[in-house]
Amino acid sequence: MLTAFALAAALVSDPVAAPVVLPSEPAPLHGTLLTPGGGTRAAALIIAGSGPTDRDGNSPLGVSAASYRLLAEGLAAHGVATVRTDKRGVGASAFAAGREEDLRFTTYADDTRAWAAETARLTGQPCAWLIGHSEGALVALAAVARDDTAVCGLVLLSGAGRPAGVVLREQLANVPEPWLGQSLAILSELEAGRTVAEVPPQLAALFRPSVQPYMISWLPLDPAELVAAYDGPVMIGQGTTDIQVGVVDAEAMAAARPDAALKIWEGVNHLLKVAPADRAANAATYADPNLPLAAGVVDDVAGFILGRR
């Protein structure tokens, strides 16, 4: 005999995935709407991190953990509909890229505002939550700095809490000379708003001239200042075995917004999965789509969103 809980679960159908398209120039942007089978209680837009990260959280740069797909599926089980998208220039949104030298951080913030309004419209909700992961957390903060009318609130996961230049200097600390000194010199020029024409081939992946205008638009942004200026509800989530940003970043944002919900997940890495502190073993999880999200991540995000409806 079915219990009442089992009967209710049996009556709830699987979530429904549907492609969604957002008009844009020079080409449309594309994503996936995942609608809960048992009805929508809230809606959220999942904002991808840096680089060529697609709607599922995967990247040709060695990431196939599918963290965003897993997050969307987990939230659907709680009644939270999600839109997750291919960034401009990535996946099905490849033709929307334009020239790299024309890209600015505000481009992603503008796209986020447009997607938030579309997410609310598609789901019949009055507003959409922004769930920003990694650099997507800063994109979310930049988006609401200009207009938050379509946004319910922010969920900031594995996001830097300090300006990018501070974090980059930490990440560059193990680069050998002479590349370290050259990297720091280029970074200082970009922070001052000046491009650098001559970049050693070994540093082109980070500092190539075509990406420098984007970096100049990104480096002045201070996540702590932005989160302090936003007056909507905020959740900050951070794992203790994240090898890209750290608990210090979450604490920096939480200090700027003492009323924010701060969740620190023990033994959880940048991709929101259980991982050891050892760098090699930690990095191995980046290529494992079968490894689930860490226990508590989905429940904490869903609980925060649904607790503020």
Q: Kindly indicate the confidence band of residue 12, based on its pLDDT and cuts at 50, 70 and 90.
A: low
Bridge partners of residue 261, in order along the sequence = 235
The CA radius of gyration of the chain, in Å to the nearest whole number, is 19
Residue 247 to residue 275: CA distance in whole angstroms: 15
Specify the pTM. Answer: 0.93
Which DSSP symbol is given to 278? S
Mean pLDDT of 165-184: 92
**257: which residues sit within 8 A by CB, 6+ positions away?**
227, 228, 230, 234, 236
Mean pLDDT score of the chain: 94
The pLDDT assigned to 33 comes to: 98
Q: Kindly indicate the confidence band of residue 13, based on its pLDDT and cuts at 50, 70 and 90.
A: confident
User: At residue 2, does pLDDT exceed 60?
Assistant: no
Q: Convert the pLDDT of each residue in 26-39 to its tens digit.
A: 999 999 999 999 89
The pLDDT assigned to 102 comes to: 94
Q: Convert the pLDDT of each residue in 273-309 to its tens digit.
A: 999 999 999 999 999 999 999 999 999 999 999 998 7
**Tokens 């024409």 appear where?**
197
Q: Convert the pLDDT of each residue in 229-252 to its tens digit.
A: 999 999 999 999 999 999 999 999
Query: Which of 304, 155, 122, 303 lies closest to 238, judged by CA?
Result: 155
User: At residue 126, does pLDDT exceed 90?
Assistant: yes
Contact 154, 130 (CB under 8 A): yes
Bridge partners of residue 6, in order along the sequence = none
DSSP letter for each residue of 215-271: HHHHTT--HHHHHHH--S-EEEEEETT-SSS-HHHHHHHHHH-TTSEEEEETTB-TT
Domain ranges of the chain: 13-162+222-306, 164-220
The pLDDT assigned to 226 comes to: 98
Mean pLDDT of 181-193: 97
User: At residue 5, does pLDDT exceed 60?
Assistant: no
**Domain 13-162+222-306 indexed as CATH 3.40.50.1820:** yes
Residue 265 to residue 119: CA distance in whole angstroms: 28
